[in-house]
């Protein structure tokens, strides 16, 4: 199985919105209020927000493709584009999601490996990300990759204030 990873451009906005909404909802719909989830999807993944994020310096989106199908995506931030500035010399994985039908096929690992190389190319000292404290599958995956909890912050899903654990690992 060959996974290709390519940069997302403004020509891809509708496909980006589609994979963002699909993967986020599939990951969190069972454990959250539907109204809060819908509010978040409408705010975080509307076309104008995604357009602004694509234009932001020190930030980039990437698609994972299998047989020319978009099966996952990654959003990376560095420098001043990071959502937290605790590790200025690190790369933030703000979003890493795999289509539910393609999970457990090495796509998440391929996206992480790409992020690791990207961080190395930027001469970053580490990689960090935030993960919901109740997302046990993701926590296990990140711990397997060598991440350790280094803090926490509030993530607002609709009107629900949740706790994300901040996970960090050296490169």
Residues 127-170 have pLDDT tens digits of 999 999 999 999 999 999 999 999 999 999 999 999 999 999 99
User: Which DSSP letter does residue 40 get?
Assistant: H
CATH number at residue 94: 3.40.630.30
How many structural domains does the chain have? Answer: 1
**What's the rounded mean pLDDT across residues 58-76?**
98
Residues composing the chain:
171
Place of tokens 């980006």: 16
Could you give the percent of the chain with pLDDT greater than 90?
Answer: 98
Identified catalytic residue from 40, 61, 142, 168: 142
Model confidence pLDDT, tens digit, residues 74-110: 999 999 999 999 999 999 999 999 999 999 999 999 9
Question: Average pLDDT in the 35-40 region?
Answer: 97
For residue 1, pLDDT beyond 90: no
Structure confidence at residue 70 (pLDDT): 98
Q: Is 142 a catalytic residue?
A: yes
Q: Give me the mean pLDDT over the 17-21 stretch.
A: 98
Tell me the average pLDDT across 41-50: 97
* Residue 38 burial (C-beta neighbours within 10 Å; 0-12, 13-18, 19+): middle
Domain extent at residue 88: 3-170
Determine the distance from the C-alpha atom of residue 46 to the mean position of all C-alpha atoms in its chain, rounded to a whole number: 16
Average pLDDT score over the chain: 96
The candidate with the shortest Cα–Cα distance to 129, out of 165, 163, 154, is 165
124, 90 Cβ separation under 8 angstroms:
yes
């Amino acid at each position: 199985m060959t996974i290709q990873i390519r940069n997302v451009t403004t020509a891809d906005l509708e496909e980006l919105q589609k994979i963002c909404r699909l993967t986020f909802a599939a990951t969190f719909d069972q454990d959250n209020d539907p109204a809060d989830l819908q509010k978040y999807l409408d705010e975080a993944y509307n076309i104008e927000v995604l357009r602004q994020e694509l234009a932001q310096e020190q930030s980039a989106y990437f698609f994972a493709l299998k047989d020319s199908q978009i099966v996952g995506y990654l959003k990376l931030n560095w420098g001043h584009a990071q959502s937290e500035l605790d590790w200025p010399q690190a790369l933030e994985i703000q979003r890493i999601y795999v289509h539910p039908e393609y999970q457990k096929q090495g796509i998440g690992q391929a996206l992480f490996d790409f992020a690791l190389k990207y961080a190395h190319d930027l001469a970053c000292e580490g990689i960090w990300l935030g993960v919901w404290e109740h997302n046990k599958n993701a926590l296990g995956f990140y711990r397997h990759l060598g991440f350790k909890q280094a803090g926490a912050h509030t993530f607002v899903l609709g009107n629900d204030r949740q706790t994300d654990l901040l996970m960090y690992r050296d490169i």
